[in-house]
């Protein structure tokens, strides 16, 4: 195995100089650094990871806890983009990511905290899970640097999508298109759902909208079958809504199916809107109106905040960072006059 001593002998410099060059320190010249790195590559040098861990007291490995309730895994349209951004952010700083083995936990072999400690994770990003689980509470209180996505714990850093502002902007946009009978199929109970539902009611009250109880329905996130069933119920009302909001873009596909099975057209006969801004929803016809979340910024902020907690624990503030989204207008919400859609006014 090639050592730094071997490189120093070939280059005619000290081992300390070789170490500085390989660790990209700035107190040696660029030409010297370039020469040492070239020789190291030619000799087939690989850094001793175990020695580096002992010296820095870090594993340079980040744990990611991702356990979505529908078991969609990395095929989840929204979280896949967040996780990709997180991965690129930490890898640029020389860290690897490892997913926390949730199957191992379900088998009862160890707690999340024990598992993360045994793996030597420098920190853990909790992206999606049952945040109310006692095992999660144990993990966030276990002394490991933690950053959560879209959930708040006391004295834990969090990155939040602005769900309150997002729902406000989306509902206001639909109101300005002339809609007054607006239904909302929201997701199962969670901090995200609570924020969006409260914002929906508050925004509606501010706009002077009357929202009948039968206009508010529940269906799990990413559940097209549930969204289909609830859409059928809404369409069967004596006075059906002119626009239906869905818990997420994927669920809205269930609404598409229910509406088209009745021979109705979107947005000519009824309008719909989603939430998240997943890529595929822009390529259907009509393109889905939605609140597009900034998945790139969300993943980046989670990664940067976690690395700051790891590398600068004394000076990093425990805070909540908020990321804004924006309304993607699409073509699925029509202008409405006297309760009827006017497809000619729909933006192309």
Tens-digit pLDDT profile for residues 119-136: 899 999 999 888 888 999
Task: Tokens 């990321």: give the residue.
Answer: 323
Residue 53 located in a structural domain? no
Confidence of residue 106 (pLDDT cuts 50, 70, 90): low
Q: Residues 23, 24, 26, 27: is their CA dihedral positive or negative?
A: positive
Whether residue 279 sits in one domain with residue 144: no
Q: How many domains does the chain have?
A: 3
147 forms beta bridges with: 125, 157
Strands 271-273 and 123-128: what pairing? unpaired
Whether residue 276 sits in one domain with residue 251: yes
Q: What CATH number does residue 335 fall under?
A: 3.40.50.2300
Whether residue 168 sits in one domain with residue 117: no
Residue 52 located in a structural domain? no
Mean pLDDT of 307-325: 96
Name which residue leads in pLDDT, 199 or 50: 199
Confidence of residue 202 (pLDDT cuts 50, 70, 90): very high
Measured CA to CA, the distance from residue 77 to residue 283 in angstroms comes to 14
What domain range is 14 assigned to?
4-47
Whether residue 183 sits in one domain with residue 200: yes
Buried b (16+ CB within 10 A) or exposed e, 57-85: ebbbbbbbbbbbeeebeeebbbbbbbbeb
Name which residue leads in pLDDT, 259 or 101: 259
Whether residue 188 sits in one domain with residue 319: no
Tell me what pLDDT residue 169 has.
98
Q: pLDDT by residue (tens digit) across 70-85? A: 656 677 889 999 999 9
Tell whether the model's pLDDT for residue 337 goes beyond 80.
Answer: no
Residue 169 located in a structural domain? yes
Buried b (16+ CB within 10 A) or exposed e, 310-333: beeeeebeeeeeebebebbebbbb
Whether residue 316 sits in one domain with residue 333: no
Strands 340-342 and 335-337: what pairing? antiparallel
Residue 287 located in a structural domain? yes
Residue 177 located in a structural domain? yes
Tell me what pLDDT residue 48 has.
64
Whether residue 206 sits in one domain with residue 313: no
Whether residue 154 sits in one domain with residue 68: yes
Whether residue 199 sits in one domain with residue 334: yes
In percent, the amount of the chain with pLDDT more than 90 equals 70
Whether residue 173 sits in one domain with residue 228: yes
Q: Is the peptide bond before 267 cis (omega within 30 degrees of 0)?
A: yes
Mean pLDDT of 248-270: 96
Residue 245 located in a structural domain? yes
Residue 54 located in a structural domain? no
Mean pLDDT of 57-73: 80
Tell whether the model's pLDDT for residue 303 goes beyond 90.
Answer: yes
Dig out the tokens for 96 from the structure. Answer: 């690897």
Dig out the tokens for 227 from the structure. Answer: 């969204």
Name which residue leads in pLDDT, 171 or 54: 171
Tell me what pLDDT residue 345 has.
37
Mean pLDDT of 268-297: 95
pTM of this prediction exceeds 0.75: yes
Count Cβ atoms below 10 Å from residue 28 Cβ, excluding itself: 17
Whether residue 175 sits in one domain with residue 146: no
CB-based burial label for 97 (10 Å; 0-12, 13-18, 19+): middle
Residue 85 located in a structural domain? yes
Dig out the tokens for 13 from the structure. Answer: 């410099």
* Per-chain mean pLDDT for the chain: 89
Tell me what pLDDT residue 235 has.
97
Whether residue 303 sits in one domain with residue 265: no
Q: Which of 258, 257, 322, 246 is nearest to 290 (CA)?
A: 246
H-assigned helices in the chain: 4-11, 15-22, 30-43, 49-56, 77-91, 102-106, 112-119, 134-140, 163-176, 191-207, 224-235, 249-261, 295-311
């Amino acid at each position: 195995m090639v050592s730094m001593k071997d490189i120093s002998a070939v280059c005619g410099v000290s081992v300390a100089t070789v170490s500085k060059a390989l660790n990209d320190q700035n107190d040696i010249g660029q030409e010297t650094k370039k020469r040492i790195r070239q020789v190291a590559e030619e000799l087939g040098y690989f850094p001793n990871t175990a020695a580096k861990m002992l010296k820095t007291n870090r594993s340079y490995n980040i744990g990611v806890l991702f356990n979505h309730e529908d078991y969609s895994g990395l095929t989840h349209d929204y979280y896949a983009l967040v996780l990709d951004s997180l991965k690129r952010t930490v890898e640029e700083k020389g860290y690897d990511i490892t997913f926390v083995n949730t199957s191992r936990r379900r088998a009862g072999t160890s707690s999340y905290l024990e598992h993360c400690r045994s793996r030597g994770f420098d920190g853990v990003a909790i992206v999606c899970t049952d945040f109310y689980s006692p095992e999660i509470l144990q993990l966030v209180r276990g002394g490991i640097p933690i950053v959560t996505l879209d959930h708040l714990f006391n004295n834990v850093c969090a990155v939040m999508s602005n769900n309150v502002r997002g729902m406000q902007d989306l509902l206001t946009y639909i109101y300005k298109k002339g809609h007054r009978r607006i239904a909302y199929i929201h997701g199962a109970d969670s901090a995200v759902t609570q924020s969006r539902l409260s914002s929906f009611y508050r925004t509606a009250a501010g706009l002077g909208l009357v929202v009948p109880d039968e206009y508010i329905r529940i269906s799990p996130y990413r559940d097209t079958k549930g969204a289909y069933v609830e859409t059928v119920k809404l369409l069967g009302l004596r006075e059906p809504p002119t626009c239906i909001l869905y818990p997420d873009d994927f669920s809205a596909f269930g609404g598409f199916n229910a509406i088209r099975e009745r021979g109705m057209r979107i947005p000519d006969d009824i309008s719909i809107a989603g939430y998240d801004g997943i890529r595929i929803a822009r390529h259907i016809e009509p393109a889905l109106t939605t609140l597009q979340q900034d998945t790139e910024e969300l993943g980046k902020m989670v990664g940067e905040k976690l690395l700051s907690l790891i590398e600068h624990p004394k000076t990093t503030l425990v805070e909540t960072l908020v990321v804004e989204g924006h309304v993607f207008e699409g073509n699925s919400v029509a202008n409405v006059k006297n309760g009827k859609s006017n497809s000619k006014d729909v933006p192309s």
